């Protein structure tokens, strides 16, 4: 990373990757409380990297890539963490999980076919999901989250469908596009001019 890319948001994104093994350590040590506390801190960097990047105009291409890589690693790992720590909440949702991973993979295939590279969007729905995943992990420590897992997966289905529709209709767009409706409205405004 060159000096121009050495920003607080990029450091926060990299920290998610660097500290991910700590979460695995707590999971394999079966230390639910330490895992939950560490997960709160590590996953919160996903919120703060974007907030700081937008507020202080530190959005960079490398930052978007780092954020996407860190998100993929953390949130795919989270499925494993939940399965390992709270299998009783995930096992009833196995069919939904298979559909989730299938749509997740398909969204990368569609982005690759339509843009020439795999892209992970940061739509409003997908950003909301990051918050819901954090709530899920913390809640799982205290209560049965079987139906909350299912709810989150269903929202992901909608988010991945939106993401694929964006790629199919618009091709390459800014990965931070809030929604397909933002693009549709922009089309309407351009059509009126």
Residues 103, 166 within the same domain = yes
How many percent of the chain have pLDDT more than 70? 97
Average pLDDT, the chain: 93
Q: Which of 131, 126, 128, 129 is nearest to 175 (CA)?
A: 126
Q: What pLDDT is recorded for position 192?
A: 57
Q: What confidence tens digit (pLDDT) does each residue in 60-101 have?
A: 889 888 998 999 999 899 999 999 999 999 999 999 999 999
Q: What pLDDT is recorded for position 60?
A: 87
Q: What pLDDT is recorded for position 59?
A: 86
* Residue 105 clears pLDDT 60, i.e. is over it: yes
Q: Rounded to whole angstroms, how far apart are CA atoms 130 and 118?
A: 20
Residues 62, 90 within the same domain = no
How many percent of the chain have pLDDT more than 90? 78
Range of the domain at 26: 1-81
Residues 121, 187 within the same domain = yes
Looking at residues 25-47, what average pLDDT do you find? Answer: 95
Residues 106, 31 within the same domain = no
Looking at residues 115-139, what average pLDDT do you find? Answer: 93
Question: Tokens standing for 9?
Answer: 């948001």
pTM of the model: 0.87
Q: Token pair 């060159």 is at which residue? A: 2
Residues 25, 107 within the same domain = no
Displacement of CA 101 from its chain's centroid (Å): 13
* Residue 56 clears pLDDT 70, i.e. is over it: yes
* Residue 4 clears pLDDT 70, i.e. is over it: no
Q: How far is CA 152 from CA 20, 44, 76, in A?
A: 22, 18, 14
Contact 52, 8 (CB under 8 A): yes
Looking at residues 17-38, what average pLDDT do you find? Answer: 97
Residues 74, 108 within the same domain = no
Q: What pLDDT is recorded for position 78?
A: 95
Q: How many domains does the chain have?
A: 2
Q: Rounded to whole angstroms, how far apart are CA atoms 95 and 91?
A: 9
Residues 32, 74 within the same domain = yes
Contact 133, 82 (CB under 8 A): no
């Amino acid at each position: 990373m060159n000096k121009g890319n050495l920003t607080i948001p990029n450091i926060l994104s990299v920290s998610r990757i660097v500290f991910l093994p700590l979460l695995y350590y707590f999971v394999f040590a079966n230390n639910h409380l330490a895992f939950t506390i560490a997960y709160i801190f590590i996953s919160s960097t996903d919120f703060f990297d974007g907030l700081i990047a937008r507020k202080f105009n530190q959005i960079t291409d490398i930052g978007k890539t780092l954020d996407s890589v860190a998100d993929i690693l953390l949130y795919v790992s989270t499925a494993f963490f939940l399965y390992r720590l709270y299998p009783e909440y995930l096992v009833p949702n196995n069919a939904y999980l298979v559909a989730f991973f299938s749509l997740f993979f398909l969204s990368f295939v569609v982005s690759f076919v339509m843009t020439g590279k795999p892209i992970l969007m940061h739509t409003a729905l997908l950003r909301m999901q990051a918050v819901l995943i954090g709530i899920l992990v913390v809640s799982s420590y205290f209560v049965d989250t079987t139906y909350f897992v299912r709810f989150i997966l269903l929202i992901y289905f909608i988010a991945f469908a939106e993401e694929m529709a964006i790629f199919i209709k618009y091709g390459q767009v800014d990965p931070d596009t809030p929604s397909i409706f933002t693009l549709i409205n922009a089309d309407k405004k351009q059509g009126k001019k």
